[in-house]
Amino acid sequence: MRLLLIEDDYMLGNSIRKGFYPYGFIVDWTQDGIAAEAALAAESYSAVLLDLGLPRKSGLEVLKKMRSDSNSTPVIVLSASDRVLNRIEGLDAGADDYLSKPFDLDELAARVRALLRRSGGRTSPVLTHGEIQFDPAGNTVTYKGKGVALSSRELMVLAALIEKPGAVLSRAQLVDKVYGWNDEVESNTIEVHVHALRKKLAPGVIRNIRGLGYMLADSESPCVN
């Protein structure tokens, strides 16, 4: 899934951006409050990781602006302050979670997964569609009870589709969920990933709705139109 990181500390921001890729997260990174608001206005994100001590505009102001604009994207505040009053202020301003620095990347990733699970109305940590099971925590997929080895991008495409069963996602929507700002995207890249998923899972597992996009099939029909 695609996240927005708003953090002015270069070493920490770079560590999160690079360290989150193996978890299946694409991270867009801004380093001040004004740039963050521009990113939020231009893109749609699964969650926001927000530092409070930002230049140009504070993280708290960014958070309040998000909520006043009816932007309900889940937010985890990352702060160097562990004072109770700061945590209360952040949560009351609309944050969904609060994590004090320094923190462990594994814990932050687990909190993001839990937040996405709650915001999606799910109770189970494992996403299931028919014979497909996807475990975001381990980035593992099974089909008919057997493990299937997928690349990071293939996992991201499958995760985007399985999170919205019955919905058709356009090529542009899938690109937004799978690639970040600095990634090069070939014109047929989504088609390549879909072809690989069909080959590794089943030919009819993903349907191509002509002119609209892709969706997970309700059954294992051999049809891939």
Where exactly are the structural domains of the chain?
A: 2-120, 127-216
Query: Tell me: the pLDDT tens digits for 72-121?
Result: 999 999 988 878 888 899 999 999 999 999 999 999 999 999 998 888 77
Q: What is the CATH number of domain 2-120?
A: 3.40.50.2300
Q: Which CATH number fits domain 127-216: 3.40.50.360, 1.10.10.10, 3.50.50.60, 2.40.160.40?
A: 1.10.10.10
* Token representation of residue 165: 């069963």
Helices 10-19 + 105-119 axis angle, to 10: 60
Q: What is the mean pLDDT of each run of 10 residues along the chain (225 residues)?
A: 94 95 91 97 94 94 96 94 88 95 94 90 85 90 94 91 90 88 84 95 92 84 44
Q: What pLDDT is attached to residue 222?
A: 43
- What are the distances in angstroms from CA 72 to CA 78, 100, 159? 18, 22, 21
Contact by Cβ (8 Å): 7, 52: no
Give the pLDDT of residue 223. Answer: 42
